[in-house]
Amino acid sequence: MGQSISQLYVHLTFSTKDSKPYIQEIWELKLYACLAEVLRKYNCPILTINSVSDHVHILFSLSKDHSLASVVNELKKKSVKWIRSIGKINRDFDWQDGYGAFSVSHFQIDVVTRFIQNQKNHHDNKTYKEEVDEIMEQFGVIEYDASYFWN
């Protein structure tokens, strides 16, 4: 009998629609629980998650049984539903249409984990757009068109 093995680590990031500061510290841990529940459903072990008011970062292991697009779609769909349910002020909440997903070497997990866990300090002096531009350059992403990414 054959065996399929997969060890794919993904650094996923996406922002709120139009980068509006929707994510509130008072309920962000519940948001993380919502996102973690989706990842568990898809057999994608979560390594770390963090956010600031306008975006989220997640490091997880992608299951060999599900596509990245289907996992991200479900993450956004379930979390939008939850966020909209917690108060009138959030009824118009939505995520940006796109996302950034980057492969992470097993040897870089600790570095990326620290980067994600340090988001609040990191964004004291850097915008999400500046951060994404740096990530795109660091990963050598050539098809990045900022006019499509930011909405």
Q: What φ, ψ does residue 125 adopt, rounded to 5°? A: -135, 20
Q: What local confidence, expressed as pLDDT, does residue 35 receive?
A: 98
Report yes or no: 48 and 90 within 8 Å, Cβ to Cβ. no
Model pTM score: 0.89
With tokens 């779609």, the residue in question is: 73
Is the pLDDT confidence value at 94 over 80? yes
Q: Could you report the per-residue pLDDT of 22-45, keeping only the tens digit for each? A: 999 999 999 999 999 999 999 999
Maximum C-alpha span of the chain = 54
First-to-last alpha carbon distance for the chain, in angstroms, is 47
Cα–chain center distance at 121: 18
Q: What local confidence, expressed as pLDDT, does residue 1 receive?
A: 56
SS3 4: coil
**Mean pLDDT of the 53-76 span:** 97
Q: Could you report the per-residue pLDDT of 105-148, keeping only the tens digit for each? A: 999 999 999 999 998 887 777 888 887 778 878 878 777 777 66
Helix (H) / strand (E) containing 122: helix 119-122
Q: What local confidence, expressed as pLDDT, does residue 48 receive?
A: 98
Q: What are residue 8's DSSP bridge partners?
A: 62
CATH superfamily, domain at 8-149: Transposase IS200-like (3.30.70.1290)
